[in-house]
Chain A
Amino acid sequence: MVDALGRIVGPRWVRHRRAELATYTMDGLPTRESYPGVVVMPGSTAEVREVVRLMHLTGTPFVARGAGTGLSGGAVADPDAVLIALTRLNRILQVDPRRRRATLQPGVVNARLSEAVLPHGLHYVPDPSSQAACTVGGNVAENAGGPHCLKYGVTTNHVVELEVVLPDAAVIRLGSRQGEPWGPDLVGLFVGSEGMFGIATEIVVRLEPIPSSVRTMLADFSTVRGASEAVSAIIGAGIVPAALEMMDQACVEAVEASIYAAGYPTDAAAVLLVELDGGADAVEAEATTVETILRARGAREVRSASTPADRARLWQGRKKAFGAMGRIAPDLAVQDAVVPRSALPDIMDRIEEIRGRHHLAISNVFHAGDGNLHPNISFDRRDPELADRVQVACREIMAACVAAGGSITGEHGVGSDKIDYMPLIFDGDTLSAMRAVRLAFDPDERANPGKVVPLHACREWRATPAAR
């Protein structure tokens, strides 16, 4: 296999020695580890296709990987699988400012795309917190979100066309520059499929004009409940902020101790970051309303970023928060769940109750406007008893979110980390239907096998005891 891959991409771009493979055992979630069999780094679409053809001919499972910043263990391969790293496919192929489209390879880093189109007064809206490192290909696989998805939608709302290498090495195009030319939304189906349907080798995205006026406000609260209630109150007033983010005290303390210190008040129980954008007059009017609501819900102080640098600083603190958690403990269980916005105050109380009962360190940093929670549990995995408590607490948090009418993932995907939670929200028939869709793209189930859909929970698996 190593030689065969070497003949396609050149021996220089095949990694098979144990030490090299060790660096590919995890993605951004270090609690899920597995050595891939081989890592291959194709340098062109043609090479991707040839690699996938080899996988097809030899019946080898494969996993596509970008920058490996995902948080659900999705871009990790088992020893019988080949990991296809797409980081070398990092060219922006075309920018069409008039039609506001960009065509790119999957390994282009999210933030680099926005930088490249900035001279045209445009940007690529989905901005996951890892945007400085993560690739657009990975964003497509996970249907990545980000703070600004509250107003502008997630990745699927910004991808219009895809070139995909299917697991049998067929190359197909989905969608078009103008969007879906016919019938069902096949681009939408592919986006968020977590690498199970094939490998996107060319991505055409929608670009948006940079808003003429932006206001970023920071409000601090003495209770988490007050901040949570303010979130619903803002949306209830008919305002859709560009972003509406919340950080609790533990998170603020970690950020303020880091190089990304943004001047968040460390004595607040929670802070809200509210961004409004649009025409200058509308932004001014909305800002007044938002400030009134924030103060009515108990905000101690509300301040606006005065300069673009100040605004960038407020955002850097928020976006790098997850990476700053190493200051609390060496390991981190990153969670991602969604609840209806109105349930936020109660679920935050519930998380606090779970934290206290299990004696854990939990920090919260999340997209409050979407009700997309990220409770992060800091721990040291060298303490197995503590690690067990973390797992129990994670499950309790998930169950609580589902009970509140929510979901087990907002934007990090299911991967391997959340596969066991899938039956909490989907019944056997639904999971079987999902599997059937996957089989349409990948009849041999070789693309990112063992992820997302728990086979044991599918209806047919349950119906056939022999399969067990």
Chain B
Amino acid sequence: MTTAERRYGGPSDPLAPCVHCGFCLPACPTYLATGDEADSPRGRIVLMRALERNEIGADDAALAQHLDACLGCRGCEPVCPSGVAYGRGLEAARERLFEERGLPPLARAVLGMFRHEALWRPLFTAARALRATGLPRWMAGAGRTGFGMGMLAASRQQIRVGATGATRDAMPKHVTLSKAKGPKREGGPTVALFKGCVMDTLFRHVNDATRRTLEFNGYDVLEVEGQGCCGALHEHAGDRETAAALARTNVAALAGSGDYIVTNSAGCGALLKDYGHLLHHDAEAAAVGAKVRDVSELLAMAGPRPGAPLELNVAYDAPCHLQHAQRVHDAPLAVLRAIPLLQLRLLPDSDHCCGSAGIYSLLRPAMARAVLSSKIEAIAAARPRPGIVTTGNPGCLMQIGAGLIAAGLDIAVAHPVELLDESYRRLDRGY
């Protein structure tokens, strides 16, 4: 009996409450893209049940194709009147597919790379170097290579500072904050920063902004050594074993540090919070999971303190793993509302998946682009047009950023804490 089989069936069957009403259809990005039941949550539940009952085998190409095509955004969960735990069902089905079928070569290669820091760190460092040449931005476009280059270009720091309007690409790699500068309260909460892999390399500027904005709001940010990739990409692909191994490394590193553990990547946060479940309710893993917060949650808890005005027109896009998996809705908006004069808008479909979904956009570029297109169209149609799209997940920043470049739109992408950080910098109060 496989793990998946043990977790299916019985009273705890996560899919049992589905009465096939179809209220999930309009919330599913892939169904909206194709109109095909087999690409809908309800259709996939039929497939997962058939897999569970061995009516259709894991080697069935059609079954695998449509289950693989699920973004795992879990947009269907909050609209389900019966509370079907779609994400748990998908997790079990993907584990079963992984166990019996393995992964396609490209996925295996990419996930293998994320498995070892000795592989991903040099690769992403090289990517940063390539990005710094400006070549990716120049090559960015609508084709497959162009889109990939657009994703890399979109990961750079894009918001402009100072009267000169110079970008901050040339900012020092590590900003060492003097604790004395911040208004840290004596005995304020301590926060261990989960650095991540992509966030610690391509998006290091977001990690820096996270540190600074938290310190400014009274948190004491701790550096914790010995962390690695969170394992979310492996978990999404059904490779629970590798995900669990990575989780154990992080649990060992993070256990006991800080009142909270903070992440600025929605995808990482969703799995970090779920470490207890992933490691079969190991007490230490559950304790680590319980301390995890998205950076927006911690900032919102502290206020956050208002910054200097930024006269920007900003569209917020909600990452699926923040809104659906973590059920965090208002905190990022609270972060952005702390910036006076910032015009905050939620465009149509801003709560729909962008098609990034971890390594999905790499494995299934056509569907990922089809899912992205309605979002880009909504941004292009917005009047006045936003100057910045902000979202709290690296994959979404790159996917939306590349989509904007491919559509020829001169609109920047930024993490919400980057905007708050910029606003604080302009306070001129020793920030």
Known contacts A18-B62, A19-B56, A67-B25, A259 near B35 by CB under 8 Å: no
**A:258-273 near B, CB below 8 Å:** 258-260
Cβ of A306 under 8 Å from chain B: no
A435 to chain B, nearest CB (A): 31
**Residues in A319-336 with C-beta less than 8 Å from chain B:** 320-327, 330-332
Chain A interface main SS type = loop
A325 to B84, CA, bound (A): 11
With most chain A CB atoms within 10 A of its CB, the pick from B35, B47, B56, B81 is B81
Q: Which residues on A sit within 8 Å (CB–CB) of B47?
A: 19, 22-23
Let me know if A109 and B26 touch, CB within 8 A. yes
Known contacts A19-B50, A67-B22, A258 near B63 by CB under 8 Å = no
Find the A residue at minimum CB distance from B77.
Answer: A259
In the complex, chain A residues 1-39 whose Cβ is within 8 Å of any chain B Cβ: 15, 17-20, 22-26, 28-30
- Is B84's CB under 8 angstroms from A133's CB? no
A334 nearest CB neighbor, chain B only: B19
Give the contacting residue for A326; candidates B17, B25, B36, B60; CB below 8 A. Answer: B17
- Partner of B22 from A69, A326, A330 at Cβ < 8 Å: A69
Q: Which residues of B contact A258 (CB under 8 A)?
A: 81-83
Min C-beta distance of A334 to chain B, whole Å? 9
B210 to chain A, nearest CB (A): 31
A325 adjacent to B19 (CB under 8 Å): yes
Contacting pair B62 A17 (CB below 8 A): yes
A23 touching B46 by the CB < 8 A rule?
A: yes
Q: Would you call A347 an interface residue if the criterion is a C-beta within 8 Å of the partner chain's C-beta atoms?
A: no
Q: How large is the interface on A (under 10, 10 to 19, 20 to 34, 35 or more residues)?
A: 35 or more
Query: Which of B16, B21, B37 has a CB less than 8 Å from the CB of A85?
Result: B37
- Given A19-B56, A130-B22, check contact A320 B81 (CB 8 Å): yes
Residue A280 lies at the interface, judged by CB distance under 8 Å to chain B: no
Contact in complex: A322, B46 (CB < 8 Å): no
Give the CA-CA distance A28 to B80 in the complex, in Å. 14
B82: which A residues are within 8 A, CB to CB? 258, 323-327
Tell me which of B22, B26, B50 contacts A68 (CB under 8 A).
B22
- Is the beta-carbon distance between A24 and B37 smaller than 8 angstroms? yes
Instruction: Judge whether B207 is part of the interface by a CB distance below 8 angstroms.
Output: no
Q: Which chain B residue shows the least CB distance to A69?
A: B22
Assess whether A18 is in contact with B37, with CB atoms less than 8 Å apart.
Answer: no
Chain B residues, CB < 8 A from A327: 17, 82-83
Point out the residue from A20, A26, A87 that lies within 8 Å of B20, measured CB to CB: A26
Given A19-B56, A19-B66, A23-B46, decide whether A330 and B16 contact each other with a Cβ distance below 8 A: yes
In chain B, what residue has the closest Cβ to A23?
B43
Expressed in whole angstroms, the Cα–Cα distance for A430 and B163 within the complex equals 83
Q: Is B399 an interface residue (CB 8 A)?
A: no
Nearest opposing residue in chain A for B46, CB measure = A23
Point out the residues of chain B lying under 8 angstroms from A30, CB to CB.
Answer: 19-20
Q: A19-B60, A258-B82 are in contact. Are A133 and B36 (CB under 8 A)?
A: no
Assess the A323–B23 pair: CB atoms within 8 A.
yes
Which residues of chain A (336-363) have a CB below 8 Å from chain B?
Answer: none
Q: Given the complex of chains A and B, what is the CA–CA distance between A258 and B19 in angstroms?
A: 14
Residues in B neighbouring A41, C-beta threshold 8 A: 35-36
Total interface residues in chain B, CB < 8 Å: 35
Interface residues of B in 379-399 (CB under 8 A from A): none
User: Which of A26, A67, A255, A332 has the largest count of B CB atoms less than 10 A from its CB?
Assistant: A67
Q: A19-B56, A67-B25, A330-B17 are in contact. Are A323 and B80 (CB under 8 A)?
A: yes
The answer to whether the Cβ of A459 comes within 8 Å of any Cβ in the partner chain is no
Q: How far is the CB of A66 from chain B (nearest CB, A)?
A: 10
Q: Give chain A residues whose Cβ lies under 8 Å from the Cβ of B43.
A: 23-24
Q: How far is the CA of A278 from the CA of B110 in the complex (A)?
A: 61
B contact residues around A133 at 8 Å (CB): 22-26
Shortest Cβ gap from B145 to chain A (Å): 24
Asked if B21 and A323 make an inter-chain contact with CB atoms under 8 angstroms apart, the answer reads yes
* Complex interface: chain A residues within 8 A of B363 (CB): none
- B40 within 8 Å of A by Cβ? yes
Digitize A207-245: 1 where CB-to-B-CB distance is under 8 Å, 0 elsewhere: 000000000000000000000000000000000000000
B62 near A20 with CB under 8 A, answer yes
The answer, yes or no, to whether A88 is at the interface (CB within 8 Å) is yes
- For the complex, is B290 an interface residue (Cβ under 8 Å from A)? no
A90 CB-CB contact with B under 8 Å: yes
Nearest residue (CB) in A for B40 is A23
Check A19–B63 contact: CB distance below 8 A. yes
Type the 1/0 row for B21-46, where 1 means its CB is closer than 8 Å to any CB of A.
11111100000000111101011101
The CA of A259 and the CA of B327, in the complex, are separated in Å by 12
Residue among B17, B47, B60 with the highest chain A CB neighbour number at 10 A: B17
List the A side residues contacting B19 at CB < 8 Å: 30, 322-323, 325-326, 330-332
Tell me the smallest distance from the CB of A417 to a CB of chain B, in Å. 14
- CB distance A23 to B38 under 8 Å? yes
Contact of B38 among A15, A88, A255, A257 (CB under 8 A): A15
- A425 lies within 8 A of chain B by Cβ: no
Contact B22 A28 (CB under 8 A): yes
A65: nearest chain-B partner, CB-CB: B37
Contact A68/B35 with A130-B22, A322-B21, A323-B23 known, Cβ cut-off 8 Å: no
Whether A326 touches B16, Cβ cut-off 8 Å, given contacts A20-B66, A41-B36, A132-B23, is: yes
- The proximity string for A residues 117-131 relative to B, scoring 1 for CB distances below 8 Å and 0 otherwise, is 000000000000010
B1 proximal to A (CB < 8 A): no
Q: Determine how close the nearest CB of chain A comes to the CB of B81; give it in whole angstroms.
A: 3
Q: Is B310 an interface residue, CB under 8 A from the partner?
A: no
Residue A107 lies at the interface, judged by CB distance under 8 Å to chain B = yes
CA distance A324 to B47 in the complex (A): 21
Residues 58-101 of B, flagged 1 when their CB comes within 8 A of A and 0 if not, give 00111100100000000000111111100000000000000000
Residues from chain B with a CB closer than 8 A to the CB of A90 are: 35
Residues of A within 8 A of B60 (CB): 17-19
Which residues on A sit within 8 Å (CB–CB) of B24?
Answer: 133
Chain B contacts for A332, CB-based, 8 A: 19
* Residues of A close to B198: CB separation below 8 A: none
Q: List 16 A-B contacts (CB under 8 A).
A: A15-B36, A17-B61, A18-B62, A20-B36, A24-B37, A26-B46, A132-B79, A133-B25, A259-B79, A320-B81, A322-B19, A322-B81, A324-B82, A326-B18, A326-B83, A327-B82
New A-B contacts (10) at CB < 8 Å, excluding given A69-B23, A69-B25, A326-B83: A17-B60, A22-B50, A23-B44, A88-B35, A258-B83, A259-B78, A323-B81, A326-B82, A327-B82, A330-B18
For the complex of A and B, list the 6 residue pairs with the smallest distance between their C-beta atoms, beginning with the closest.
A326-B82, A87-B35, A326-B17, A23-B43, A323-B81, A17-B62
Q: Which residues from chain A sit less than 8 Å from chain B, CB to CB? A: 15, 17-20, 22-26, 28-30, 41, 67-69, 85, 87-88, 90, 107, 109, 111, 130, 132-134, 255, 257-260, 320-327, 330-332
